[in-house]
Structure 1
């Protein structure tokens, strides 16, 4: 937020979990938003995710590289239109690599690293409306232990980062704004996390987005 009294600082909010405010500048945010809008178009576009118990997630999703569904990966949109998943762009994978390097400047090895030859090959793009939520969960379907990279666009959200044992306390709530980066790896790679609240109308006016987009980058380690 422009003109605030105390600028937000880069911080390790839990072992292996790093928050880097304003990591994406306004122009890069607009470029990423334009890309998200293209990815959201059919085929294999934005969809409502249904859980095995018959419920639906309030955040809608589109995937790149591999298609995530509860609880696994496929090369086609198996719970959508069945089309082949869109490819993971090289520039987005490189953005993930840069994010991990910057997080390491804050937390060192605690934030985790990429193994030689590893590249970000999966992206989950979640769209949150004003009343959307995301329950506490772990990103546990990957074989790689590479850090998870999370980028925020649009409305501010309350991001809850917890522990590796349960969905309950202890956890820490962090305000993620448009352009913020959050990386978690090392001892925090399998921590439970979620989004209990989105704050409608808090996104940058010049971005042109109503709601919130979260782009999560992962290394699958799942083979060909």
Structure 2
């Protein structure tokens, strides 16, 4: 059972009891009140009797005796009033004590509620902080994943470009080999012209002939002086 439930349960268990009077003190007050009322009634009866005796012109000794009894009853009345006030003060003090204890229990409930709210606030703060951390971690992970994907894509693209470049070079090399082969074939088919003298070719003059045939004139400079 948590702290707030304990405080509430204690308050509920004590609340009804604290709102009721103490039976013993209530009985003491009622007894003192009854004694006070009896004393008041005796005073009233004694005063009425003395007044009647005075009207009847009773002997002074008898009046003096009854007046003495009246003083005794008045003393009893004072005692009864004192006892009543004491009993009343006790029950009022008890009510104050009960009220103070009841208020203390209410305060304990409020403190427990405040403590619970504080703990809930701390818990919510921790949850929010954790959620922010998890979100930031997710964002960082997404960034790393995205960067990795971009890196892989760039690598794949570079690889494809490299492979395409190799294929192009291979194709160009193959075409060059074909061209060289064609040139070699053409060179092999060219007629061999022998110069009657040693020298070097100074000029070749080409003429376009008929049906794709060419007629060429070659000028040779001899290395032998005349």
Q: TM-score, normalised by structure 1?
A: 0.12
More strand by share: 1
Q: TM-score, normalised by structure 2?
A: 0.12
More helix by share: 2
Higher relative contact order by CA 8 Å / sep ≥ 6: 1 or 2? 1
